[in-house]
Structure 1
């Protein structure tokens, strides 16, 4: 089968090699980024280094069904994630104005980051050949290294799954402040 594909698409081998060369691996230092957020602030991964774990949940397109479900899951169940010493974001290659409206419409109480030039999505290996970000969630430790890459995100249970993964990865839990 692969020989047949290579015969009809001779450049496929080079394309596959190029795509795999850009793939982010667990244990690697996560690429730094500086992206605008839907809350008007600019976020840099380097600001969290040695301070806090980071979760970067890439999504394909604002206002689409699966992305709306995922964003609402994180908005409605974010308290589960906030039990951990972590900052979390959703990110896409959508324009900031689109992500700002989408965040307001879904009640997101966390920033949606916009990577309009697609450079960060490319660096993280989540950019689809058609130009949108794949639905992947990247877990980054305090040391800036990739802890896990989830490529099988379930939008409806995204928050619960994220919290469970943070526990599995041993991300520090915050002290219970309820009295």
Structure 2
């Protein structure tokens, strides 16, 4: 798991349009909200992604870009984005490498089989690439609003305490 104050891992992933995104390109320019979710199109993942999309402009006012990451492929992301009118950038981590770097992969047992799953998690990363908030196993309802309050505090006075 990553913790507040640690440097966010570097990575490059393709998005829904199969264009590569380099996380390091934000350094010195923008804050980032990086949210990891289990699967495109499931009810809670849709709720979370549409909530972040609906408030993307508010985050942008605080120099913050929102990035969604799952292990779905680019085509699945494109369908998910188009079906629900999502404006946020969705990144494909098919190999699960970035999920491992951020500590959001976990084996869970379902129907007697162990399966590697993505834990719904969100990271607020400042312009210098430092994790300011690491939230694991989050509840999607109201999550975007909670994260927005954390982002508003980034450019404010002093650092906020880590939330779990």
**Shorter-normalised TM-score: what interval?**
0.7 to 0.9
Q: CA deviation at 1:41?
A: 2.4
Taking the aligned partners of 2:156 and 2:118, their CA distance within structure 1 comes to 26
Task: Please show how residues 118-133 of structure 1 align to structure 2 within 5 Å.
Answer: 118-129=96-107, 130-133=115-118
- The separation in 1 between residues aligned to 2:25 and 2:34, in whole angstroms, is 14
Question: Which has the larger strand fraction?
Answer: 2
- Is 1:53 the counterpart of 2:38 in the alignment? no
Cα distance between partner residues in 1 of 2:126 and 2:18 = 25
Aligned residue number for residue 161 of structure 2: none
1:65 counterpart residue number:
43
Tell me, yes or no, if the aligned pair for 1:81 and 1:163 is still in contact at 8 Å.
yes
Aligned residue in 2 for 1:165: 150
State the Cα deviation string for residues 127-176 of structure 1 (Å, max 9, x = none).
1212231110011111111111112533232322221110133369xxxx
Task: Report how many aligned residue pairs link the two structures.
Answer: 150
Residue 140 of structure 2 is matched in structure 1 by: 155
80 and 153 in structure 1: CA distance in 2 versus 1, 3 angstrom threshold:
farther
Q: Which has the larger radius of gyration?
A: 1
Distance 2:129 2:56 in 1: 22
Give the TM-score of the pair, scaled to structure 1. Answer: 0.77
TM-score (norm 2): 0.84
The structure carrying a bigger helix percent of its residues is: 1
Offset at residue 93 of structure 1 (A): 0.9
CA deviation after TM superposition for structure 1 residue 79, in Å: 2.4
